[in-house]
Structure 1
Amino acid sequence: MLKTLDSALALLTRFTLQEPSWGVRELAKATGVHYAVVHRVLASFAENGFLRQDSAGRYSLSLRLFELGQVAHRTFAPSDVVQPALDALAQTSGETVFLSLLDGTDAVCTDMAQSQQQLRFSIELGQRFALVAGAHAKAILAFQPDAFRATIYQHTQTAGDAKLEEQLAKVRADGWCHTREEAAATVAGLAVPLWSRDRRSVIGSLGIAGPVQRLDGEAIPRLIEALKKTRETIEPVVGLTG
């Protein structure tokens, strides 16, 4: 029973921002699961309101999952506190601001406030990213246990990367991270880690991203202070006790 449930949930996780819809044969081929099993699982999810099927027979996530996602979102990042704080930081910094939370061996953008400038960094809510590139990622990875970092390196084929470990050591020492053109060309990032409510572990990061020319030099100390001030507001209500 539990093995069947695990398999069904594994199929559900294949619905992502990059691949939001699947046909049965297509998903069976991509996962190596027998067509009949995929058909039965997707039909069951649709029957219970978690997926919907279009006229071409393709499946995509339903509003029922959106509803559950809103419940999870309110649990981890209460909008009445987090969103006004992010909006104020975006206004102060002039750049895109986003909150990311650790999820397994990746992180997910859960909240954001867009820059109002014409040239700006763009990230999507729900976007999942690896932890080895970008200030928002490294501000999380730097504070994870050695065994966790070793697992990340194995998955990303960066095992034994002394340069990366040196960078992460600096992040731990400074308490913040600054990167240039790591996650995207012409984009720089600044981020601070977010700690769990019991202060035992880093569960996410608060980041600012924008054009390299605007996130450099004299702007960095000012923006780091703004990030830290905003963190003071949102950290007490974000996430669960780690």
Structure 2
Amino acid sequence: MLKSLDSALTLLMRFTAQQPSWGVRELAKETGVHHAVVHRVLATFAANGFLMQDSAGRYSLGLRLFELGQVAHHTFSPAEVVQPALDQLAQASGETVFLSLLDGDEGICTDIAQSQHQLRFSIELGQRFALVAGAHAKAILAFQPDDLRSTVYRKNKLADTAAIEARFEQIRTDGWSHTREEAAATVAGLAVPLWSRDRRRVVGSLAIAGPVQRIDGEAVPRLIEALKKTREAVEPVVGMTR
């Protein structure tokens, strides 16, 4: 029974922002699972509201998952505390501010306050990212155990790990990360790690991102201090259950 549940959840996890809908035979071919099994699993999820089926027979995520997602989001990042803090920082800095949490060997953006500038960094709620590029990613990975860092290096096929490790040592010393044009062209980022409630683990990061010309030079110390101040408000609640 547990094996069947694991197989069903594996199919469900194929629904991502990059591939939000699947046909039965398409998903069967992708996963190597017999199409009859895929059909039964998807139909069962749909009958319980976890998936929905369109007129063409394709499946996508259902409102039951949206409902559960709202519960999970409030658990990990209570909006009544986090969103006002991010909004205030976005207004003060003029840049996009976002909070990300560690999920396995990846990060996921859970909260955003957008810059009001026409030229700004763009990231979406729920967007997953590798922990190898960008200040938001490096502020998380730098503080992870050796085995997790090694897993990320292998997964992303990184060869020159000595240079990366040297950079991570500097991030751990500084307590913050600054990158230029790593996650996206013309974009710079600043980020601080978010610690668990017991201060033993880094569970995410708080970041500011925008055009390189606006996040450079004398702006960096000012923005780092603003990030640290905002972290004081959000860290106790986002780290509460981790």
TM-score normalised by L of structure 1: 0.98
Cα contact 1:198–1:241 (8 A) shared by 2: no
Query: Equivalent residue for 1:33?
Result: 33
Query: Equivalent residue for 1:170?
Result: 170
Query: Equivalent residue for 2:45?
Result: 45
Aligned residues: 242
The residue correspondences of 1:96-107 to structure 2 (distance < 5 A) are 96-107=96-107
> Can you give the 5+ residue segments of structure 2 that lack an aligned partner in the other structure?
none
Rounded Cα–Cα distance in structure 1 between residues aligned with 2:159 and 2:10? 27
RMSD of equivalent CA atoms: 0.9
Rounded Cα–Cα distance in structure 2 between residues aligned with 1:139 and 1:102? 11
Query: Equivalent residue for 1:12?
Result: 12
Query: Equivalent residue for 1:190?
Result: 190
SS in 2 for 1:151: helix
Q: Deviations over 1:43-71 (max 9, x none)?
A: 00001110000000000001110100000
Shift, 1:23, TM fit: 0.6
* Residues 1:129 and 2:129 are matched in the alignment: yes
Query: Equivalent residue for 1:72?
Result: 72
> Can you give the 5+ residue segments of structure 1 that lack an aligned partner in the other structure?
none
Shift, 1:89, TM fit: 0.3
Percent sequence identity over aligned pairs: 78
Rounded Cα–Cα distance in structure 2 between residues aligned with 1:72 and 1:15? 18
Rounded Cα–Cα distance in structure 1 between residues aligned with 2:25 and 2:166? 46
Query: Equivalent residue for 1:228?
Result: 228
Cα contact 2:135–2:179 (8 A) shared by 1: yes
Cα contact 2:76–2:241 (8 A) shared by 1: no
Rounded Cα–Cα distance in structure 1 between residues aligned with 2:240 and 2:47? 32
Shift, 1:159, TM fit: 4.7
The amino acid of 1:132's aligned partner reads V
Q: 4+ residue runs of structure 1 moved beyond 2 angstroms?
A: 239-242
Cα contact 2:194–2:239 (8 A) shared by 1: no
The residue correspondences of 1:210-221 to structure 2 (distance < 5 A) are 210-221=210-221
Rounded Cα–Cα distance in structure 2 between residues aligned with 1:212 and 1:31? 41
Rounded Cα–Cα distance in structure 1 between residues aligned with 2:169 and 2:144? 11
SS in 1 for 2:158: coil
SS in 1 for 2:238: coil
